[in-house]
Amino acid sequence: MEATTITKQGAATAPYYLPQSDECSVFAAAHQNGLPVLLKGPTGCGKTRFVAHMAEKLGRKLYTVACHDDLAAADLIGRYLLKGGETVWVDGPLTRAVREGAICYLDEVVEARKDVTVVLHPLTDDRRTLPIDRTGEELVATPGFMLVASYNPGYQNILKTLKPSTRQRFLSLEFDFPAPELEVDIVTQESKLDRETVKSLVRLAGKLRALKGQDLEEGVSTRLVVYAATLIAQGMSVQRAVQTAMIEPLTDDDDVKRGLQDLVVVVF
């Protein structure tokens, strides 16, 4: 089964999101014109938060699907299920979004099985249709429907990149870790930790990211910096919080870990 989260329209206020550039206006223009958007960027840099924020601002319900290598088209479209002795059709999250004029966000879309991209094609051109073979329906997307997908170009192997025929159907927005002064604002806001300590954590994050491609496969995410800051704000020592949130998640190699700890000493 797919992991789907549904965010209801009209909840209190939009989740906090600090823009890195003009991504909010580009997304709004794409939505207004019914164009699909691909968000590219490393894990934990704010893509999911951005979509949640925009869905709320645009007054659209959001269906988020965390894609994985077992996710098939039927998980998105729907299937017949046995209910009280009867077989009934149950819409999947993509079908619901198409019917309701909602936003459907496919997180890490390259992880999904190949048949998923086939389903997306007629939805991502001017037909904006979703054929449902099982029921014989061909749904035309309700105005307001928008398809958003994300992927991390960094760590996929060659077999797991998006085919040009798929990626050329989406507008693309590139995301990266926020610039230091923005990241300090984000982490302070999310964790409520004092700004000076946050500044040091962000400085450390910058040093760790500089090691990407040498000792580390991926740089530390903003998500992990927020985790470290949250632990410190709740009373954990800086050393312990950084170890758990910003070093252990990055590597299993003891030598590399020792090298990273040396960086911590330099920064704090």
Interface residues with ligand ADP (CB under 6 A) are 16-18, 43-49, 178, 186, 190, 222-223, 226
Q: How far is the CB of 223 from ligand ADP (least distance, A)?
A: 4
Nearer to ligand ADP, 74 or 171 (CB): 171
Nearer to ligand ADP, 161 or 189 (CB): 189
Distance CA 58, CA 67 (A): 24
Distance CA 114, CA 194 (A): 47
Q: How far is the CB of 230 from ligand ADP (least distance, A)?
A: 9
Distance CA 92, CA 253 (A): 42
Question: Minimal CB distance to ligand ADP: which residue?
Answer: 46
Nearer to ligand ADP, 132 or 220 (CB): 220
Q: How far is the CB of 162 from ligand ADP (least distance, A)?
A: 17
Q: How far is the CB of 227 from ligand ADP (least distance, A)?
A: 9
Nearer to ligand ADP, 18 or 171 (CB): 18
Buried b (16+ CB within 10 A) or exposed e, 169-206: bbeebebebbeeebbbebbbebbebeeebbbebbbbbb
Q: How far is the CB of 224 from ligand ADP (least distance, A)?
A: 9
**Number of alpha helices (DSSP H) and beta strands (DSSP E) in the chain:** 11, 10
Q: How far is the CB of 129 from ligand ADP (least distance, A)?
A: 28
Q: Is 137 helix (H, G, I), strand (E, B) or coil?
A: strand
Distance CA 50, CA 17 (A): 6
Nearer to ligand ADP, 39 or 260 (CB): 39
Residues forming beta bridges with residue 37, ordered by sequence position: 148, 171
Q: What are the φ and ψ backbone dihedral angles of 82, each rounded to 5 degrees?
A: -85, 125
Sign of the alpha-carbon torsion through 131, 164, 31, 221: positive
Nearer to ligand ADP, 46 or 92 (CB): 46
Q: Which two tokens stand for residue 216?
A: 């580390």
Nearer to ligand ADP, 145 or 151 (CB): 151
Q: How far is the CB of 186 from ligand ADP (least distance, A)?
A: 5
Q: Count Cβ atoms below 10 Å from residue 34 Cβ, excluding itself.
A: 14
Spacing of C-alpha 9 from chain mean position? 19
